Amino acid sequence: MATSQKEILIKLLADVSDVKKKMPQAEQSMDGFIKSALNIAKVTAGVTAFIKVMGKSIDAAAEHERIVNQLNQSLANQGKYTERASEALQQYAEEIQKTTLFDNTAAVQSMALISAYGYEGSTLMQLTKATTDLAQAKGMDLASASSVVAKSVGTSTNALARYGITVDGTAKSTERAASAIQSIEKLYGGQAAAATSGFGVLKQIGNQMGDVFKNIGMAIEPVVVLIGRDLLNVLSSLNDWFSANMGTRRNFFTIFAETFRV
């Protein structure tokens, strides 16, 4: 028997009523789903951020350690390395970071480059300070400026002449270093410190943040090194196996292909 229009209308109204009754439950389920999704997103973002921080920290610590090792080796090559001497120079690098726009890692590298010509102690510190002024005044990175200064005091070639700086004295002598320091400071003295005024503070904040990452990296270094050495041993053993077996007629890939041949 054909369904009357009245029956169809009654059924539609009943379905609508049932939907309305179930709406709160559906809305509650949707809210729960959205909250769960947001929580998952927050956790994922947190994990991703943590991994980035750890990666950046390890990179910063590794780079600083590399530069310190460079300084220590440079001093050792000249027969001037002691732990105390190295620590004093690293502490001076901290002072350079506080009073200029150059970070302590760059300052340590500057001293590593200049100390290769036999300079140490207070003379090395004064040369490094003068180099920061030269670098700031001429818009150079500290490593490049240090190479120019190192060549000028450590050899008979005055690479500073192109900047209007005269240097006198025998190569690698204290007198030649003093001459270079005096000439640089006469033209560019105070430039590195002056750059910290105004917006220069933003660069200094960045340097301090860099130290935070570096210190985190230094703190977790023992764990990273331990895991790294274990992984290195595993990879080394794997490569040894390949070296021993890949040269045979029935090498690994041949065996693999034959094993899984259909």
Nearest to 54 by CA among 219, 226, 207, 204: 219
> What distance in Å separates the CA atoms of residue 185 and residue 166, rounded to the nearest whole number?
12
Between CA 213 and CA 167 the distance in angstroms is 40
* 164 touches 71 (CB < 8 A): no
Q: Give the C-alpha separation, 107 to 93, whole Å.
A: 5
- Single-letter residue type at 12: L
Which sequence spans correspond to the domains of the chain? 63-195+204-209
Helices (H) and strands (E) in the chain — how many of each? 9, 0
The structure tokens listed for 98 are: 């506080």
Under 8 Å between Cβ of 161 and 153? no
- The angle subtended at Cα 153 by Cα 149 and Cα 156, nearest 5°, is 120
Alpha-carbon Rg for the chain in angstroms: 33
Integer CA distances (angstroms), 52 to 49, 80, 196, in order: 5, 39, 29
Find tokens 């949707």 and name the residue: 30
| Separation CA 104–CA 106 (nearest Å) | 5
**What per-residue confidence (pLDDT) applies to 54?**
80
**CA dist., res. 169 & res. 156, Å (int):** 9
State which amino acid sits at residue 122: S
Contacts 24+ apart (CB under 8 A), 26-32: none
> CA-based diameter of the chain, in Å?
120
Contact 57, 216 (CB under 8 A): yes
The pLDDT score that the predictor gives to residue 225 is 84
CB 100 within 8 A of CB 130: no
Which whole-number Å values give the CA distances from 256 to 66, 79, 167, 237, in the listed order?
43, 57, 70, 20
Per-residue pLDDT tens, the chain, 262 aa: give them.
455 665 655 555 555 555 555 556 655 555 555 666 566 666 566 656 767 778 888 899 999 999 999 999 999 999 999 999 999 999 999 999 999 999 999 999 999 999 999 999 999 999 999 999 999 999 999 999 999 999 999 999 999 999 999 999 999 999 999 999 999 999 999 999 999 999 999 999 999 999 999 989 888 888 888 888 888 888 888 888 777 776 554 566 666 666 666 5
